[in-house]
Amino acid sequence: MKRFIKSCLTISALSSLLIAPAVLSAGSASAQPRRSCDFAYVGGGIGAQVTNGGQNNDAANVGGNIQASLPVQGTPVDVKTKVLWNNDATSINPEVAVGTCLGSRTKAYVAGGYNFVEQDGRSTPLGNKDSVTASVGIESEVKKGIVVYSNATLAVDGYENTSAIPVNIGTGVGIKW
């Protein structure tokens, strides 16, 4: 029962983080002309590993993130990179994302990539060893030049010596260029 409640709380928190940018950008009514939701940005915020692997150096933890996104013009593809860190170690997670516009200033996306851990065995906000990743996220220009982003990333086989899957939830604010 505890595991079920914990799963429900995790899903609720994830849903809230993913929906927040869309709600924040809802102020722009349909009276404005539709414009592209493809934009490049760089930003920073917080990231939390919300799962435990059950071994040493894989407990849930909180850290920071820097995220950058660059659209491939004329396609729904973006190239993204996240740098995640905490007190123990840093990881770099480049991804290729495919997204769709949700209105004129908001984009939802799915992505795949690879997480490079600074030193295998040391805990980061996305596991403790190099691994393939999958992400879902949303990003929205809430004011001219200001982007809010939120995402959830899981690292397939991202823990040493366990079959548990690390999950990171990240959010932040960026500057569009």
CATH of the domain at 95: 2.40.160.20
Nearest to 149 by CA among 16, 8, 20: 20
In a domain, residue 49? The reply is yes
Answer yes or no: is pLDDT of 139 > 90. yes
In a domain, residue 32? The reply is no
DSSP state of 123: -
Two tokens, residue 126: 């996305």
Under a CB-based contact definition with an 8 Å cutoff, are residues 172 and 44 in contact?
yes
Q: Position of tokens 């595991």?
A: 3
Confidence at residue 60, expressed as pLDDT on a 0 to 100 scale: 86
Tell me the mean pLDDT in the region 147-161. Answer: 94
Tell me the mean pLDDT in the region 70-83. Answer: 94
The mean predicted confidence, pLDDT, of the chain is: 83
Number of domains in the chain: 1
d(CA 77, CA 75): 5
Confidence at residue 104, expressed as pLDDT on a 0 to 100 scale: 85
